[in-house]
Structure 1
Amino acid sequence: MRRTVTALSAVLIAAAGLTACGSGKDSSTESKATPPTAASSAPATTAAPQKPLAEAEARNGIPPKPDANVQAAYVRALDAISPTIVGGKEDRAVSRGRDACGTIHSFPNDHAKQVNLTQQRFSGAHQVTTEQAEKILTAVQTHLCPKH
């Protein structure tokens, strides 16, 4: 998970750097006396990091955040395994599930590694068993990343 966070941070930093580089026009043709207005430069800075982040996540097999219906079905599936998995923290469970999709994408032929990383990812205050990790992985694949 730390690698994912590090990679996503690097993408954000790179996107911010690209945004700061300007429009790519030859500076000799631009007027140096007239700075860009706040209205014209603000949308590029706020919208730019979201697209590269989403693209980086997609390349790494991390799906977009699910809609409310998909999230509810996913949370119900996890609660059926054990109510302690979600523990009232649905956003955290969804985030961990999306990261598990990245694991499935990164290790498509290593089911044991997928299960092991899922067990680690979902263990916290309550330890997840290998059997529960198998079921969590199935719920993740069913609801969050069915293409894998």
Structure 2
Amino acid sequence: MRTTTTAVIAAGLLLTTLTACSGSDDDKVANKPSKVPTLSAADREAAREAAGLPPKPNATVTAAYIKALDAIDTDIVHGKTEKAVDRGLNTCSSVKSSPKDQAKLIDLTNQRFTSPTHPNGHGAATAGKILKVVRKNLCPDF
């Protein structure tokens, strides 16, 4: 009896799902690509500065930054250079807003620098090392 009831409920849910996904003219309008203008490189840099972020690093700085992170643990970058740079630049924003709150900065760094094998961060000790690398390479003036 339970098997039959479960099968009937599953079939009903499947039918409801398929009916809901059938699409309409309204869906076609909603799925049109937006025509939002893209920002120029100069506008993006101005927005970064306004947000308290340092400029995107050049290739030499990026290479030194990634090498320093890999020296701590290769799992920090885990092959995602652009993501590591973005996380570092976001950390710089926190450094600029709270330069003396080391505990907060370490906690935020630990939250930002995650990986598939460290989904909750690499721990406070490693986050402290990452923070030093970020400050030295990406935002030395903060």
* Length-normalised TM-score, structure 2: 0.67
Gaps of 5+ in 2: 1-35
Letter of the aligned partner of 1:93 in structure 2? A
CA distance in structure 2 between the partners assigned to 1:72 and 1:114 by the alignment = 23
What SS class does the counterpart of residue 79 from structure 1 fall into?
A: helix
Which protein is bigger by CA-based radius of gyration? 2
Q: CA RMSD in A?
A: 1.7
**Residue pair 1:60, 1:106 contacting (<8 A) in 2 also:** no
Letter of the aligned partner of 1:81 in structure 2? I
CA distance in structure 1 between the partners assigned to 2:111 and 2:99 by the alignment = 18
* Length-normalised TM-score, structure 1: 0.64
2:66 is the counterpart of 1:83? no
Q: Percent identity?
A: 43
Gaps of 5+ in 1: 1-15, 17-44
2:49 is the counterpart of 1:58? yes
What SS class does the counterpart of residue 88 from structure 1 fall into?
A: coil
Q: Which residue of the partner structure matches residue 111 of structure 1?
A: 102
Q: Which residue of the partner structure matches residue 133 of structure 1?
A: 127
CA distance in structure 2 between the partners assigned to 1:105 and 1:59 by the alignment = 12
After the TM superposition, which parts of structure 1 deviate over 6 Å for at least 4 consecutive aligned residues? none
Q: Which residue of the partner structure matches residue 85 of structure 2?
A: 94
Residue 65 of structure 2: which of 51, 55, 74 is its match?
A: 74
What SS class does the counterpart of residue 72 from structure 1 fall into?
A: helix
